[in-house]
Chains A and B, each alone.
Chain A
């Protein structure tokens, strides 16, 4: 079967750095994506990793280790507006996204 695991909740303070981990079990792995969702609205694409290593996009970075079936999303210089749910999702041969259950990030002042 296919499954993804990520922490259900993470709390951090403004200005801090937070890392959200994602481990996966899937067949036909092609890449790992991260999406942000505010208040149940449209999931917004953040980043994508197909190869091992770190991808940086502004304050957000994403890492993938294919051999460990593991990735993480790193958020730096946290802001209150970063409070949201974050989902990792794997894509395989058919390109459908298999989502994790999401991590609720609470940023405190």
Chain B
């Protein structure tokens, strides 16, 4: 069974540009989560999808971040316009059920210059 995959693995952009991150969850996992780790800080929750619906988006930092999961399969996280403080590692995780183990992807390393 393939694990959670994320694309790209790295992204370097300039302040003000737009970046779109993609996450493909494990097949059959209805629950998809986005997290990020800013340098030196803990991994922080961003939002949670159940199928295509946003269940909890309490961790989204501001309206420059837009997450979608059309069709309930893969998800995208767009940052527009990117700011310096958005730099960090963005992780995606998925789980079959809400109370089940979350499996993480390798992350996308975003650097905003």
Binding site for B on A (CB under 8 A): 4, 30, 33, 35, 40-45, 48, 87, 89, 94-102
Q: Which residues of the partner chain B approach A4 to less than 8 Å between Cβ atoms?
A: 42
Inter-subunit contact B107/A40 (CB<8 Å): yes
- The number of chain B residues touching the other chain, given as a range, is 20 to 34
For the A-B complex, the count of residue pairs with Cβ-Cβ distances under 8 Å equals 58
Inter-subunit contact B104/A43 (CB<8 Å): yes
Complex: A44 Cα to B102 Cα, angstroms: 9
Q: Nearest chain B CB to A95's CB is how many angstroms away? A: 5
Inter-subunit contact B43/A41 (CB<8 Å): no
Q: Which residues of the partner chain B approach A87 to less than 8 Å between Cβ atoms?
A: 42-43
Inter-subunit contact A40/B44 (CB<8 Å): no
Beyond A45-B102, A87-B43, A94-B56, 5 additional contacts (C-beta under 8 Å) are A33-B102, A40-B89, A42-B91, A45-B101, A96-B56
Q: Which residues of the partner chain B approach A44 to less than 8 Å between Cβ atoms?
A: 104
Inter-subunit contact A97/B102 (CB<8 Å): yes
Q: Which residues of the partner chain A approach B101 to less than 8 Å between Cβ atoms?
A: 33, 45, 48
Given contacts A97-B45, A98-B45, contact A41 B55 (CB under 8 A): no
